[in-house]
Amino acid sequence: MTQSAMDEIALVPTANDEAAFTARTEEPAVHVVTSRTDSRKAKLAKKYQRTPLAFYQARYNKFASRSEVNTGTLSDADTARMILKKFFDLDDEQLLQDTEKHIEGLWRMKLNIPKFFDVRAAWPQCWAVHQIFNQAGCGSCWSVAATSVMSDRVCIHSNGTVQTQISALDLTSCCLSCGGCTYVFPVSLNIRGAFGSHEGCRPYTFEPSCGAPCGSSLYRKDRTPRCERQCQELYHKSYDQDLVQARKAYWLRAINGSAEYTPVVKTTLQRLINGKFTEILQRELMTYGPVLACFTLFEDFQHYMSGIYRTDENRSLQLYGHCAKLMGWGEEGGVKYWLYANTWGRDWGEHGFFRIAMDEIPEEVVAGVM
C-alpha cells in the first residue's frame, strides 16, 4: 500500500519530515485555562509539543488526568489473563498449548511483510474495523478494546458474512474479576450497540460528555453496571441466543507481570519468538486481524493530536495502564510506527486513531480465533 493510500484511509493530514513538525510546534498549544489544574496541564501540553526530535503534535486537553491521580487498578497482565481465561473458558495449561501451536503456525507461514498495513484496507467489507468507540466515564478501556477486537475478528473470520458488535457492557459488568469500571475476560459475550443506540442485546450505557478521555477520578468500582443477563426490550433475541463463543485464545506478548500468574508463559514466548516481536505481531495482524494490546500510559499521551507518538519518560510522568486495538503499521518521514484504534472517541487524536513508534512494543498482547 502506498503512503498516499494510508493517509486517505486515516483521513488526517500528517507532516512528512522534522522541519514541518518544527514549524507547526510554534503554534500555541493552550486554548482555555480555567483553573490552576488546567494551567498546569496546558503547560505540560506545550512542553510535550516542543519535545526535541518528536514527530507528533500535542494539543491541550482540559480533560486529561494527572499522574498523582491513581486508581489502584489491576495491571495489564491481570486484565489480559482474566479475559483469556474467562471469555475463552480456558485453564492456564490449555492457554499455553494454544499459544505454542498458534505461534509455531505463524512462523511456518510464507509471508512477505509489506511496508504498510491497515486492517481497514485489508478487510474493508467489515463494518466493525472502521469504528471508534468511547469508554466515557468508566475505566473500561480493556473491555471496549477487547470487544472491538473480537467484533473485527468475527467478521474477518466469517469472510464478512457476520457483521456484529460484541458487548463491552456485558464484559465490563459480568466479568467480576476483571476490574469493571476501575479498569484495569464471561465465558461468552453479547452483541451490543454504541451509546445512545438501541442496537444489540446490551448497548453501552456510559454517556461520553465527560471528556476525551474522561478523568481517571471517574474510574471507580461503584460505577460498574450491574450484570444483567438479559437483552434490552427491543432486541429480537434472548440473552442465551445472542451469545458468541470463540474457538481458541493465545498470548503474543507477556512482559509486565504475566509471569506472576503463569511463570511458563513468559519464558515460552521468549523461546518461540526469540526477540522478533515486531515480525510476529505483523504476521498475526496480516493473517488474523487486530489484537488487544496493553501498555503503560504517560501524561503526555492524553494531549496527543497527530503524528507518531514516542514515550519520553524524562519529560512525562507515568499515569496508568491502558489497552487499545492494534491494527496495522507503516512508516512516515523515515520513522516506522504501529497504528492503533483508541477508546476515547473520534474527537481525540487522529479521529480516534493514533500512531506510535514501532520500537515501542506493547507490554501485553492477546488475541483469539473466533
For the beta carbon of residue 13, count every other beta carbon within 10 angstroms.
8
* pLDDT > 90: percent of the chain: 29
Residue 302 has pLDDT above 80, yes or no: yes
**Mean pLDDT over residues 248-265, rounded?**
71
The residue with greater pLDDT, 104 or 11, is 104
Tell me the per-residue pLDDT of 176-216, one tens digit each, with 9 for 90 and over: 666 677 754 332 334 444 443 335 777 666 666 665 666 65
Q: How does DSSP classify residue 200? A: S
pLDDT of residue 216: 58
Q: Point out the least confidently predicted range of 85-94, 132-141, 297-306.
A: 85-94
User: Does the annotation mark 227 as catalytic?
Assistant: no
Full DSSP string of 73-95? ---HHHHHHHHHHHHTT--HHHH
Using CA atoms, how far apart are residues 27 and 59, in angstroms rounded to an integer? Answer: 10
Residue 56 has pLDDT above 70, yes or no: no
pLDDT of residue 25: 32
User: Does the annotation mark 294 as catalytic?
Assistant: no
For the beta carbon of residue 54, count every other beta carbon within 10 angstroms.
21
CATH 3.90.70 for domain 1-136+248-370, yes or no, is yes
Residue tagged active-site, from 190, 256, 322, 323? 322
Residue tagged active-site, from 141, 174, 181, 323? 141
Tell me the per-residue pLDDT of 239-254, one tens digit each, with 9 for 90 and over: 777 677 667 788 898 7
pLDDT of residue 319: 76
pLDDT of residue 177: 64
User: Does the annotation mark 322 as catalytic?
Assistant: yes
- What residue segments make up the domains of the chain, in order of their start? 1-136+248-370
User: Can you say how many angstroms the Cα of residue 321 is from the centroid of all Cα atoms in its chain?
Assistant: 11
Listed in sequence order, the residues at least 6 apart from 231 whose beta carbon sits closer than 8 Å to its beta carbon are 190, 201, 202, 237, 238, 239, 242
Choose from 5-9, 58-62, 338-342 the range with maximum mean pLDDT.
338-342
